[in-house]
Structure formats: structure tokens, C-alpha cells
A and B are shown apart, each in its own frame.
Chain A
Amino acid sequence: MLFLQLLANGLQVGAIYALTAAGFSLIFGSTKIFHFAHGATFAIAAYLFHFALAGLGLHWTFAVAVAALSAVVFGVLLDRLMYAPIQRHEGSFFTVFVASFGIGIVVQNLLGSVFGRGFMSVSTPLSNSIEVMPGLYLSPLNGLAVVVAIVCFVALHFFMTHTFIGKGLRALSENPELVRTFGLSPRRLSTYAFALGSLLVVPGAIFTAAGTGINPAVGHHVMLISLAATIVGGIGSLRGAACAGLLIGVAENLAMWKLGTQWSEAITFAILFFFIIFKPSGFFGRATVS
């Protein structure tokens, strides 16, 4: 039973990682910006959802809207106000990384001082677990997370193949100079990448806030996992990020079954090292992103 329980938890967590990783991968793949503050977007969305629901007592639909809006605004503002100037001055990858990492820390501290550093979680009717079998507790949230992730990935696939912006983002990931030659603006596409990529963290942020709970460092943790998932999945591959996120989520939880809780993060990196050594291009790795 414990196995089934952990598998169910793993699927939920994996769905969240998958979405967050896909968001990071989308942004990095198309803009080549190492958006480490993607984790901060996650934390902001989670806290504002919590605040709107529990603090302001808004209906959950409004709370979801607040979370989505805050994530998109934060992502786009960072792109416009921080990454764009760095790119204009041809700043190095390292500049981007340090700036982005710094933003992550600032946000973590801000959230801590505004909302407190402790663990918070908001209970919704969906969070209540029911004992479906002796020893197996499932909440509607478990299933919902997986369903929402599937819906998001189907929608994302459709977006990338059937809309102009989606095609533009794919083009940008392959060859930015040619994108300009076509008469498109990489800068403008970059804004779309940030809006869309940031939007993808929202379901995960909400499920985390309503499920296992959040603390100011939550973004940091999710980001680290997403980063591993992006590499395991093959950099730039959305499908790969999705599968790897799911794999890591499940593996992390199943590791608890045999090895104990303290091993859950180590297992993520064990998977990462395995891929780096034996299949550096990842699941669906293409050699194009270099």
C-alpha cells in the first residue's frame, strides 16, 4: 500500500515538476536566457494564490486568476527590465545567471518578510484525503494535478504547432538571426516566451499551496528540480522536460519507500548524473541547442 501511496504522491509532484520544467525549457530553449528566477515566479504565484484565497477570502477562481496574472507580469517584467538591457549590452551568460539568481534570493526574502518564513498551506475542499483503500489516502487534488498537467501539455503542444507565436518561438529556438531575417522581432517573441513559460508554473504553484504547503524557499527547490528535469529531458525539448519531471517526481517518492525521506533530493541528482554520464543529450535531446 505504501508503494501505491508513494506512487500517487509521486505522480502529483511529478506533474508539478513537469509543468515547471517545461516553462523553464520553453524560455531557455527559445531565448537562451538562463532564467533561474523561474523558481521565484513559482513562489510568487503560490504565495499570492494563498493570500488571495486565505487572506482576502476571494473565490478560488479569482485566486487562480491572481496567481496567473502575477506570474505572467513578474516573468515579463524581468524579461523587459532586466534581461533585455543585459542582452542589449551583450552581457555574458554569467551576468544573466547571477542577476537571475539574485532576483530569486530577493524574492525569497521579500516573501519571507511579508508572509513569514514558516510553512503555510491552505486547505480547500479538494485537499481532503479520503482513504480509498486501507492505507491508501488520496485527495481529489492528486488526480486533478495530473489531469491539469495533461491538459496543459496538450494545449501547449497545440499552441506551439498551430499558432504564429508558437511557430515563432520554435523558430527562435533554432536560429535567432534567421528570425530577424524573416522580419520578426526576437525581443517581442521573447516577451511571449516569458509570458507563456511563467504561466506554466501556475498550476504547480497552486497545487503545492493547496497540497503539501509552501515556504519562501519553495521556488528554489522546484527550480533546482526543474533544471535537472530540463537536462534529463534534453535541453530545449518540451516533451523531454515533461517526461523527466514526471520521472523525477515518481522516483523521488519511490526512493522514500526503500531509502527514507532524506534521500528524495539525492535521487533527483542521481538520475541527473546518470543521464549526464550515459546520455548527455537527454531523453529527446537534440544537438541544436548549443
Chain B
Amino acid sequence: MTDRTVQVENLVVGYGGRPVLTDISLHINSNEVLCLIGHNGAGKSTLLKAIFGLVPHEGGRILFNGKPAVTEPRAMTMAGMSMVPEGRGVFPGMTVEETMSLGMWAAGVPEKARPERIEWVMSILPMMKKFYRTRAGDLSGGQQQMVSIGRALLSRPRCLLMDEPSIGLAPKLFQDLCGPIRELQQKTGMSILLVEQNVKEALKISDRVVVMKSGRMTWEGQPSELSDNKKLMELY
């Protein structure tokens, strides 16, 4: 058996009694990029939030590194998980510098390691240097997204959940970003759960794909099986 970073078994999640995820089972291996696709409202974001402990689950269970996950993002962060949320993952009133320092404090990065950690993130996202002292609210959507990704990397997570990171990014920029992230992932053995609408680019860096529809898993396979568009159309 390969090493499973995250294991989700028969997960049921609902908002105020209305079921959104019904019986989801999936796993993320260590050292892999798992791509999750599905139409709008399929429940992708909800699944990510449930894994990260932002929303409670009503049934089933989630294991992280073999241990039951806690419904508390703080605990999950400390255990080595990190999430790039859907939409704007920054505080408009805070500068990028403040956002990063808050992120490191939140992730429990020891004080001594902080300058080096920032350097490390900057080496992955070099464009951030240009607007380091700007208020996040004054940045473009794509720049904000970069900050959000950089912030999520600060803790050097074992498992990174990314909810539509390409939103707001120019296609070219997303392509440029995919390379370093894939490289980083392979170097560190980190696992990534990637939710993307930009399926073409996402599949290029994925090891495995799952498709969701109305709160259920409907397909699992290799990215190569989806490269022919007909199959993809059929699944959606």
C-alpha cells in the first residue's frame, strides 16, 4: 500500500440539514498531485473545507497521516496541512509583509526561521518582491492570489489544498506558476489536492484525477485518460 497522506471515508457534509456531500471516499497519496474537477456547485470547495476542518462533517471520517483529523483548522495547520482558499485569500487592509508575518505566526514558524522562510517563498514566487509593502486591497486579483499561495506555503505543509488557484491569474502566469509548484512538490514529497476549472493546465501537473458531481465521486483515473476531450465531456 502506498503512503496515504489523507484518507476520506464515506464522508457526509451538509449545510443546515441540506446534504452537499453524500458518501465521499477518496485518498491523497504522499508525493502526488491529485486533481479534483467537477461542475459548479458539485461540492469541491466543501470537500476541501471539510478536510481542513473549516466545516464539520456529519458522517464518515477523515484521516490525516493515519490519525483522525480534527474539525479545527488550527490543529490541521499545526499537523502540516495548509489551504489556499477559493477567492481572495488576503486581508485587504494589510500589507503583503504583514500578511506574511501573520501567516508565519499562525503556522508556528519559529522566530529564527522566519527570514529564511520568507526568502524561500520569494524564490518560488519572485514577483511578490515587487509589491511586498503594498496593501493587499490595492493589489490586482492575480497578485492577491500569489500572496495567498505564498502564505499557504509558509508552513512548508505536508499537504496543500488548493481551491482554484488559477482564478484571477493570467493563463500564462498560471502556467509559469505550475512549474515551480510541481518542482517543489516533487522535491519535498508534499501532496497536493488541486481543484481547478482550468483543467488543461491542471492535468499537466497532476498524477491522478477524480471527478465529482452533485456531492459524489463519479470517476477516478489517470490524467492521460482525460486528455481526449470527449471523455471529459461525457463525465461532466
Task: Give the distance to chain B from A197, nearest Cβ to Cβ, in Å.
Answer: 19
Minimum CB–CB distance from B94 to chain A (whole Å) comes to 6
Query: B73 at interface (Cβ–Cβ under 8 A)?
Result: yes
Chain B residues with Cβ below 8 Å from A286 are: 93
Given contacts A167-B101, A167-B102, A183-B73, A174 and B54 within 8 Å (CB-CB): no
A171 touches B89 (CB 8 A): no
Contact A170 B52 (CB under 8 A): no
User: Closest B-chain residue to A171, C-beta based?
Assistant: B91
Contact of A181 among B78, B83, B155 (CB under 8 A): B83
List residues 175-210 of chain B with CB under 8 A from any CB of chain A: none
CA–CA, A286 and B107, complex, Å:
29
Interface string of A166-202 (1 = CB under 8 A from B): 0110110011011011111100000000000000000
Using an 8 Å CB-CB cutoff, how does the interface string of B30-66 with A read, 1 for contact, 0 for none? 0000000000000000000000101000000000000
How long is the Cα–Cα vector from A167 to B107 in the complex, in angstroms?
Answer: 14
Interface size class of A (residues with CB under 8 A): 10 to 19
Contact (Cβ within 8 A) A181 B94: no
CB pair B101–A164 under 8 Å, yes or no, is: yes
Q: From residue B6, how far is it (CB to closest CB) to chain A in Å?
A: 17
Given the known interface contacts A164-B105, A177-B54, A181-B54, the answer about A170 and B91 at a Cβ–Cβ threshold of 8 Å is: yes
Interface residue? B27 (CB, 8 A): no
Chain B CB within 10 Å — which of A170, A177, A184 has the most? A184
Nearest CB in chain B: distance from A101 CB, A? 29
Q: Quick check: is B85 within 8 A (CB to CB) of the other chain?
A: yes
Cross-chain pair count, CB within 8 angstroms: 62
Whether B52 pairs with A181 at a CB distance below 8 angstroms is yes
Asked if B92 and A185 make an inter-chain contact with CB atoms under 8 angstroms apart, the answer reads no
Minimum CB distance partner of B151 in chain A: A182
Could you tell me how many residues of chain B have their Cβ less than 8 Å away from some Cβ of chain A? Answer: 27
Most buried by B among A167, A178, A181, A286: A181
Which of the residues A168, A178, A185 comes within 8 Å of B74, measured between beta carbons? A185
Segment 42-86 of A: residues with Cβ below 8 Å from B: none
Residues of B within 8 A of A288 (CB): 92-93
Q: How many angstroms from the CA of A151 to the CA of B108 in the assembled complex?
A: 32
A residues in contact with B101, CB < 8 Å: 164, 167
Is the beta-carbon distance between A181 and B74 smaller than 8 angstroms?
A: no
Contacts of A164 in B (CB 8 A): 101-102, 105
Q: Which residues from chain B contact A168 at a C-beta distance below 8 Å?
A: 102, 105-106
Q: Is B142 an interface residue (CB 8 A)?
A: no
* Residues in B93-146 with C-beta less than 8 Å from chain A: 93-94, 98, 101-103, 105-108
| A170 to B73 alpha-carbon distance, docked (Å) | 19
Chain B residues near A181 (CB, 8 Å)?
52, 54, 73, 83, 85, 89
Determine the distance from Cα of A14 to Cα of B98 in the docked complex, in whole angstroms.
Answer: 32
Contact of A182 with B103 in the complex, beta carbons under 8 Å:
yes
Known interface pairs A164-B105, A182-B103. Does A175 touch B91 (Cβ–Cβ under 8 Å)? yes
**CA distance in complex: A272, B54 (Å):** 40
CB-CB nearest in chain A for B85: A181
Closest to A164 in B: B105
Per the bound structure, the CA–CA distance linking A184 and B101 in Å amounts to: 13
Residue A178 contacts which of B52, B91, B105 (CB distance < 8 angstroms)? Answer: B91
Give Cα A184–Cα B93 distance, bound, in whole angstroms.
Answer: 18
- Cα of A177 to Cα of B53 in the assembled complex, Å: 12
- Does A167 contact B92, Cβ atoms closer than 8 Å? no
Question: CA separation between A176 and B132, bound complex, in Å?
Answer: 23
Residue pair B106, A174 in contact (C-beta under 8 Å): no
CA A167 to CA B103, docked complex, whole Å: 10
Question: B141-175 toward A: CB 8 Å interface, digit per residue (1/0)?
Answer: 00000000001000100000000000000000000
- Chain B residue nearest to A185 (CB atoms) is B74
Q: Can you add 11 more A-B contacts, CB < 8 Å, to A177-B85, A183-B155? A: A164-B102, A167-B94, A167-B98, A174-B91, A174-B92, A174-B94, A177-B54, A181-B85, A182-B151, A183-B76, A183-B106
5 examples of A-B residue contacts, CB within 8 angstroms: A164-B102, A171-B102, A174-B94, A182-B107, A288-B93
Chain A interface residues (CB < 8 Å from chain B): 161, 164, 167-168, 170-171, 174-175, 177-178, 180-185, 286, 288
> 7 tightest CB-CB pairs across the interface, nearest first?
A183-B77, A183-B106, A164-B105, A182-B106, A174-B91, A184-B106, A167-B102
